[in-house]
Chains A and B, each alone.
Chain A
C-alpha cells in the first residue's frame, strides 16, 4: 500500500520544484541562501521578511524577497518587492536581474525586461544569464540579430547548454541549417537530452541528411520515451522515403498515442 500511495504522492512532489531550480534566478548571491538551498522556500521568505523589518533599506533583501515570492507564485508581492528594491538601488545586479525575469516570465513583458537585463550587464558584463535572457527578450521582440549576439556572448561564458541551444534554434529559424547543426551538435556534446538531439535532427533534415536525422530522432525518442515530437518528425521523414510507408505509419501511430497521453 505504501508503494501505491508513494506514486500518488509523487504528484505533490512537484512542489519541491518551488526551490529546486532557483539557480538561474540568482544573478549573484542572496541573503539567507542556506535556507533556500535546504528546499524550504517558505521559511526562506519568512527569514527575509524578518531581515526586511530590521533592514528596510536593503535592496538586496527586497530583491531576494521578490525572488522568494516569485518562486512561490505570488505575483503582487513579488512586484511590490522588486519595485522597492529598484527604488532603493537602481544599479543592483540581483534586483535588475530578478526584475527582468519577472517581467519576462510572469508578465510576458519583454520590452520592460530588456532594460533590466541591460542594467545587469552594465555592472556585471560577464553575467551569462543576463546575456542569455536578454537574447531571449530581444528575439521575442523581433531583434534576431541582437539576440544572436547576446546568445553568443552567453555561450562563451556559460557552463550550461542553453545559450548554444538558443543559437542553434535561432539559426535554424532564419534558415542557416549548417550553422544551426554546428551549434546543435555542440549542445549534444554538452547534454544528450532529447531536446538537443531533436534540434540536431531538425538541422540535419533541413540539410537533406535524413539518414543521420533518423538516427538522432531515434536517440531522442529513446532519451525521452514520452515525447511525441521525435515520432512526428520520424513519420514525416519516412513518409517521404519510398518503401518506408510501414515505418511512417508506425511512427505516426506512436505520435498520436503519446500526444493523447500528453494532452
Chain B
C-alpha cells in the first residue's frame, strides 16, 4: 500500500504541505502548471510572476515562490533568490529547506544571518514530525539533505571564524549523511589540519581527492599535511600532482621545494623554474637558496674528502678566495658554480622583496657566516627565528652549551625535525651527555637504519659510556654501510684495544690508516 499511495506524495517534498494546495479554478491550476513545467529558469520566473500576479490568494502561492526561488538560483541571481527567500520565510517561518538555502546564500555577505538561518533550519528539523500521509523514504531523504546542507553551512562559517573543532563536528555531521561529498571532506581536512590532527587531515584530503580528483586545492593541502608529518616522499608526489593541475599554484611549489629539501634531493631544473615563476616571492626564493646551499655543502664535503691534492679541491679553494681557476671547470666544479650563482640570485631576490622578513635575516646570516662573522651571523639567524642555523653555527664553533639551547628551541617548535635531532645528539656526544645522545640516536636509527654517520655517533656515545660490546657493534654497522668511514675504523680499533682484542685493534688501525691515505682525509 505504501507504494500505491502515490497521490499523497504530491507536494510532500516540503514541509509546508500539511495539505495539497487546491486550485479554485482550472485556469489557476493550468497557470501554476505552466510555471511548474517551464522549460528554462527565465521562462519559469516569468510564469511564476504571472501566476502570482493573477492569483494572489492562491493556495499554490508558496509553491510558486519556491519555484521562482529555485529558478533564480539556477540563473545565479543570488540577490533575487534572497528577495524571494525572504518572502517565503515571511509566509512560513518554519520552511526548513528555504532556511537552509538562505543560510548558504547569506554566507558570503552576512555570516551572522547565515548562521541564524542554518541553526533555525536544524531546530525546525528536530521538532518536525513526519506527516502521516508522507512516504517514509521521501521524508528521511528530505530531512537528511536539508540537515546536511545546514550543517555544512555551519561548518563553513565555523571554519571562517577559526572555530576548527566546531567546523570538524559540523562537517562530520554532513558527511555522516553524504560521505561522498568531496567538498565537505576537503573542508573537514582543513579543520583537522588546523587542529593539528594531521593524520586525520591527510585521510580526509585523500578521500576528497579520491571522490573528486579535479577538486582544486585538495592536493596542495594534502602535500602540506604530509610534509608536516615527515612523509616527504608522499608530500613531494602530491605537490607535483597539484602543480600539474595548477602550474601557478604557489603553495604547491613551495611545498614541493621543501619536501625535496627534506629528502636531500635537488632538481636544478625545477629550482630554476620555480625561481623564474616566483621571482618576487621571498619565501620561495629563500627555500630554493637553502636547498642549493645544501647541495653546495655536499659538494664541498665530497671535494674535501678527496684532499688537497685533488684538482677540484684546489679549484674550490680558489673560488672561496674570490679567484676563478683557469680552463674549463670539471663537472663538479661547474655544478658548484651554478649552484653558487643560484644561491646568490635567490638571496638577492629575498633581500630585494622582503628586506626585513625572517627569510631576509636568515639570508643575511648566511652571508655573514660566509665571511666568518660568527656573532653577526648568529644575530641574523636569531632575528630570523632560525634556531637550527644558529645551533649549527654554534656547534661548528664549539660553543656547545649555546648550540644545545638553540637545537632544543628548534625541536620545541618542530618536534619531528630529524636533522636537528641528529645535530643535537652530536652535541650531546661532545658534551659527554651520553645517555641523552644515545636516546636520540637510537630513535633516529630506527627511522634511518642506513645512516652510517648515525651509527658512528651512537658508537661514540656507547664507547664513552664504556659499553665496548655495543660500541663495537655500532661501529661495525657503520662500516658495513660505508666501509671508507675512517673514523669508524679508528674508534673500533680503540674499542678492541680496550676490550683486550689486540689483533683486531691493530687490524682496524691499519684499516684506518689505509682509508685516510686513500681519501686524503685526516
A residues adjacent to B (C-beta < 8 A): 1, 3-5, 7-15, 17-18, 20-22, 24-25, 40-43, 45-46, 49, 70-77, 105-106, 136, 162, 195, 224, 226-227, 261-263
What is the interface size of chain B, counting residues whose CB is below 8 A from a CB of the partner? 54
The 8 Å CB contact of B149, one of A4, A41, A42, is A4
Check if B308 is an interface residue, CB within 8 A of chain A: no
A17 near B10: Cβ-Cβ < 8 Å:
yes
- Which single residue of chain A is at the shortest CB-CB distance from B39? A40
A261 near B143: Cβ-Cβ < 8 Å:
yes
A77 near B30: Cβ-Cβ < 8 Å:
no
The 8 Å CB contact of B7, one of A70, A226, A261, is A70
A14 near B13: Cβ-Cβ < 8 Å:
yes
Q: Please judge, given known A-B contacts A136-B1, A261-B143, whether A18 and B22 are in contact too, CB under 8 Å.
A: no
The 8 Å CB contact of A105, one of B5, B29, B146, is B5
Query: Can you list 10 residue pairs at the A/B interface with Cβ under 8 Å?
Result: A8-B100, A12-B66, A18-B10, A42-B34, A71-B6, A73-B8, A73-B20, A77-B29, A105-B7, A136-B1
Q: In the assembled complex, which residues on chain A have CB atoms less than 8 Å from the CB atom of B7?
A: 70-71, 73, 105-106
A12 near B140: Cβ-Cβ < 8 Å:
no
- Which single residue of chain A is at the shortest CB-CB distance from B29? A74
Q: In the assembled complex, which residues on chain B have CB atoms less than 8 Å from the CB atom of A43?
A: 33, 37
A7 near B33: Cβ-Cβ < 8 Å:
no
B29 near A45: Cβ-Cβ < 8 Å:
yes
**Cα–Cα distance between A11 and B5 once the two chains are bound (Å):** 18
Q: In the assembled complex, which residues on chain A have CB atoms less than 8 Å from the CB atom of B104?
A: 1, 4-5
Check if B303 is an interface residue, CB within 8 A of chain A: no
**In the A-B complex, the 7 residue pairs with the closest CB atoms:** A42-B33, A73-B20, A14-B13, A73-B10, A17-B9, A7-B145, A21-B6
Check if B266 is an interface residue, CB within 8 A of chain A: no
Q: How far is the CB of A24 from chain B (nearest CB, A)?
A: 6
Number of A-B contacts (CB under 8 A): 124
Give 9 A-B pairs besides A7-B149, A20-B6, A72-B29 with Cβ atoms closer than 8 angstroms: A3-B182, A8-B149, A15-B11, A17-B6, A21-B6, A24-B4, A73-B7, A162-B4, A262-B130
**Cα–Cα distance between A81 and B29 once the two chains are bound (Å):** 15
- Which single residue of chain A is at the shortest CB-CB distance from B25? A77
Q: In the assembled complex, which residues on chain B have CB atoms less than 8 Å from the CB atom of A227?
A: 136
- Which single residue of chain B is at the shortest CB-CB distance from A70? B7
Q: In the assembled complex, which residues on chain A have CB atoms less than 8 Å from the CB atom of B168?
A: none
Q: How far is the CB of A107 from chain B (nearest CB, A)?
A: 11
A226 near B137: Cβ-Cβ < 8 Å:
yes
Q: How far is the CB of A135 from chain B (nearest CB, A)?
A: 12
- Which single residue of chain A is at the shortest CB-CB distance from B137? A226
Check if B152 is an interface residue, CB within 8 A of chain A: yes
The 8 Å CB contact of A8, one of B5, B8, B145, B181, is B145
Q: In the assembled complex, which residues on chain B have CB atoms less than 8 Å from the CB atom of A73?
A: 7-8, 10-11, 20-22
Q: In the assembled complex, which residues on chain A have CB atoms less than 8 Å from the CB atom of B33?
A: 41-43, 45-46, 72
Q: Please judge, given known A-B contacts A8-B100, A45-B29, A105-B7, whether A13 and B13 are in contact too, CB under 8 Å.
A: yes
B130 near A15: Cβ-Cβ < 8 Å:
no
Q: Please judge, given known A-B contacts A46-B30, A70-B7, whether A14 and B140 are in contact too, CB under 8 Å.
A: no
B10 near A72: Cβ-Cβ < 8 Å:
yes
The 8 Å CB contact of A11, one of B9, B97, B152, is B97
Check if B3 is an interface residue, CB within 8 A of chain A: yes
- Which single residue of chain B is at the shortest CB-CB distance from A23? B6
Q: In the assembled complex, which residues on chain B have CB atoms less than 8 Å from the CB atom of A25?
A: 6
- Which single residue of chain B is at the shortest CB-CB distance from A106? B7
- Which single residue of chain A is at the shortest CB-CB distance from B4? A24
Q: Please judge, given known A-B contacts A74-B22, A105-B5, A136-B1, whether A9 and B142 are in contact too, CB under 8 Å.
A: no
- Which single residue of chain A is at the shortest CB-CB distance from B180? A3
Check if B450 is an interface residue, CB within 8 A of chain A: no
Q: In the assembled complex, which residues on chain B have CB atoms less than 8 Å from the CB atom of A105?
A: 4-5, 7-8
Q: How far is the CB of A109 from chain B (nearest CB, A)?
A: 14
Contact pattern, B 122-140, Cβ under 8 Å of A = 1, otherwise 0: 0000001110000011111
Q: In the assembled complex, which residues on chain B have CB atoms less than 8 Å from the CB atom of A70?
A: 7
Q: Please judge, given known A-B contacts A7-B148, A73-B7, whether A261 and B100 are in contact too, CB under 8 Å.
A: no
Q: How far is the CB of B81 from chain A (nearest CB, A)?
A: 10
**Cα–Cα distance between A5 and B152 once the two chains are bound (Å):** 11
Check if B178 is an interface residue, CB within 8 A of chain A: yes
**Cα–Cα distance between A102 and B366 once the two chains are bound (Å):** 89
**Cα–Cα distance between A263 and B143 once the two chains are bound (Å):** 10
- Which single residue of chain B is at the shortest CB-CB distance from A19? B6
Q: Please judge, given known A-B contacts A42-B37, A43-B33, A72-B29, whether A11 and B130 are in contact too, CB under 8 Å.
A: no
B11 near A8: Cβ-Cβ < 8 Å:
no
B4 near A12: Cβ-Cβ < 8 Å:
no
Q: How far is the CB of A98 from chain B (nearest CB, A)?
A: 11
B14 near A262: Cβ-Cβ < 8 Å:
no
**Cα–Cα distance between A17 and B138 once the two chains are bound (Å):** 10
The 8 Å CB contact of B13, one of A1, A12, A42, A76, is A12
Check if B368 is an interface residue, CB within 8 A of chain A: no
Q: In the assembled complex, which residues on chain B have CB atoms less than 8 Å from the CB atom of A21?
A: 3, 6
Q: Please judge, given known A-B contacts A73-B20, A105-B5, whether A8 and B146 are in contact too, CB under 8 Å.
A: yes
Check if B280 is an interface residue, CB within 8 A of chain A: no
B142 near A3: Cβ-Cβ < 8 Å:
no
- Which single residue of chain A is at the shortest CB-CB distance from B139? A262
Q: In the assembled complex, which residues on chain B have CB atoms less than 8 Å from the CB atom of A18?
A: 9-10
A8 near B6: Cβ-Cβ < 8 Å:
no
Q: Please judge, given known A-B contacts A5-B73, A21-B3, A42-B36, whether A10 and B10 are in contact too, CB under 8 Å.
A: no
**Cα–Cα distance between A227 and B2 once the two chains are bound (Å):** 13
Q: In the assembled complex, which residues on chain A have CB atoms less than 8 Å from the CB atom of B137?
A: 224, 226
Q: In the assembled complex, which residues on chain B have CB atoms less than 8 Å from the CB atom of A72?
A: 10, 29, 33
Q: In the assembled complex, which residues on chain B have CB atoms less than 8 Å from the CB atom of A13?
A: 13
Check if B431 is an interface residue, CB within 8 A of chain A: no
Check if B183 is an interface residue, CB within 8 A of chain A: yes
A49 near B26: Cβ-Cβ < 8 Å:
yes
**Max chain A Cβ within 10 angstroms of own Cβ: one of B4, B20, B101, B148:** B4
Check if B93 is an interface residue, CB within 8 A of chain A: no
**Cα–Cα distance between A22 and B3 once the two chains are bound (Å):** 11
**Cα–Cα distance between A25 and B178 once the two chains are bound (Å):** 35
Check if B441 is an interface residue, CB within 8 A of chain A: no
The 8 Å CB contact of B10, one of A9, A45, A71, A263, is A71
B14 near A12: Cβ-Cβ < 8 Å:
yes
**Cα–Cα distance between A105 and B7 once the two chains are bound (Å):** 8
- Which single residue of chain A is at the shortest CB-CB distance from B104? A4
Q: In the assembled complex, which residues on chain B have CB atoms less than 8 Å from the CB atom of A106?
A: 7
Q: Please judge, given known A-B contacts A43-B37, A73-B20, A105-B4, whether A8 and B10 are in contact too, CB under 8 Å.
A: no
B26 near A77: Cβ-Cβ < 8 Å:
yes
Q: In the assembled complex, which residues on chain B have CB atoms less than 8 Å from the CB atom of A14?
A: 9, 12-13, 138, 142
**Cα–Cα distance between A195 and B1 once the two chains are bound (Å):** 11
Check if B141 is an interface residue, CB within 8 A of chain A: yes
Contact pattern, B 160-196, Cβ under 8 Å of A = 1, otherwise 0: 0000000000000000001001110000000000000
